[in-house]
Amino acid sequence: MARSVTTNRKIINTAAAWAIGLLIFFPILWTILTSFKTEAQAINDPPIFLFFDWTLENYSVVQERSNYARFLWNSIFIAGGSTILGLIVAIPAAWSMAFVPSKRTKDILLWMLSTKMLPAVGVLYPIYLIFIKLGLLDSVVGLTVVLMLINLPIIVWMLYTYFREIPGEILEAARMDGASLRSEILYVLTPMAIPGIASTLLLNFILAWNEAFWTLNLTAAKAAPLTAFIASYSSPEGLFYAKLSAASTMAIAPILILGWFSQKQLVRGLTFGAVK
């Protein structure tokens, strides 16, 4: 007998899901609300939830003080560039590991993942020195390469998992059907791999977009993306919560919108391998 779900149970589950969802979303909501307050209301005690004088002043101040478009462009360039570069490197790598595994494949995968366990600050100094030597400090190209390398293990792992889900017999069937390697990749493998590649692309884009450690340490004025843009508003001269919130909202808005429209792909990406 199937487990019966009573109406009561459904209401409780729904309410619990909403409560957890709101709890997770609350900091972002609070940031967005604060961005519409005056500085005085922003630090008011007790905090004001909804009934304050809504104002767009913070946004215009932020816009005046810094060039949002340039930060935005840098973010898009760095996140997009590192993702595409990463896919170019990772697709053949994951492909060969998934379809022509050797005895060492598992070790290589684990080793790649182990680099993610290293605290980033541990390699900051050498990378910083390399950047100085190569003249890459505060350049979008340098940052793109570093972010690509940082996220490469995750891209390879995700793609490897997706490729592994493609049954080998289907590729063998294509071979029996007279497909050359080129046709096999073009007509059979790629269409089956595209959903996985799309999820990987999206997730990696978001990871790179939100990356703060390297972007803050390796950029100054020229190549700074939106993470640096936010940080510039938490200055030692004093905290301007409302303006900081406005800057944060402007920084997360594009990725929030992207995330909203690609929810399905993202959920698949985040739970990869979990559900067959």
d(CA 145, CA 125): 17
Tell me how far, at minimum, the Cβ of 183 lies from other proteins, in Å: 6
User: Closest approach of Cβ 190 to other proteins, in Å?
Assistant: 10
Contacts of 63 (CB under 8 A, 6+ apart): none
Q: How many residues bind other proteins (CB under 8 A)?
A: 17
3-state DSSP assignment of residue 235:
strand
- 49 C-beta neighbours (distance < 10 Å), count: 9
- Closer residue to other proteins, CB minimum distance, 76 or 171: 171
CB of 274 to other proteins, least distance (A): 20
Site string for other proteins, 230-249 (x = CB under 8 A): --------------------
Minimum distance of other proteins from residue 171's CB (angstroms): 9
- C-beta closer to other proteins: residue 89 or 166: 166
- Judge whether 109 and 172 are in contact, CB under 8 Å: no
Helix axes 140-165, 105-114, angle to 10 degrees: 140
Q: Closest distance between other proteins and the C-beta of residue 104, in Å?
A: 15
Binding residues among 145-204 for other proteins as defined by CB under 8 A: 167, 169-170, 172-180, 183, 187-188, 191-192
Question: What's the closest the beta carbon of residue 175 comes to other proteins, in angstroms?
Answer: 4
- Alpha carbon separation from 182 to 21, 127, 190 (Å, rounded): 46, 39, 11
Residue 16 vs 170, nearer CB to other proteins: 170
Nearer to other proteins, 70 or 175 (CB): 175
Cα gap 154→24, rounded to integer Å: 24
Q: Which is nearer to other proteins, 188 or 246 (CB)?
A: 188
The answer to whether residue 99 forms part of the interface with other proteins (CB under 8 A) is no
Residue 98 or 152: which CB sits closer to other proteins?
98
Q: Residue 101 CB, nearest distance to other proteins (Å)?
A: 14
CB 271 within 8 A of CB 54: no
Window 113-152: contact mask with other proteins (x via CB under 8 A)? ----------------------------------------
Asked if the bond preceding 46 is cis, omega within 30° of 0, the reply is yes
Q: Are residues 97 and 108 in contact, defined by beta-carbon separation less than 8 angstroms?
A: yes
Q: Is 23 exposed, middle or buried (0-12, 13-18, 19+ CB in 10 A)?
A: exposed
**Please, which residues bridge with residue 235 across strands?**
238
H or E segment and range at residue 73: helix 68-99
Residues that bind other proteins (CB under 8 A): 167, 169-170, 172-180, 183, 187-188, 191-192
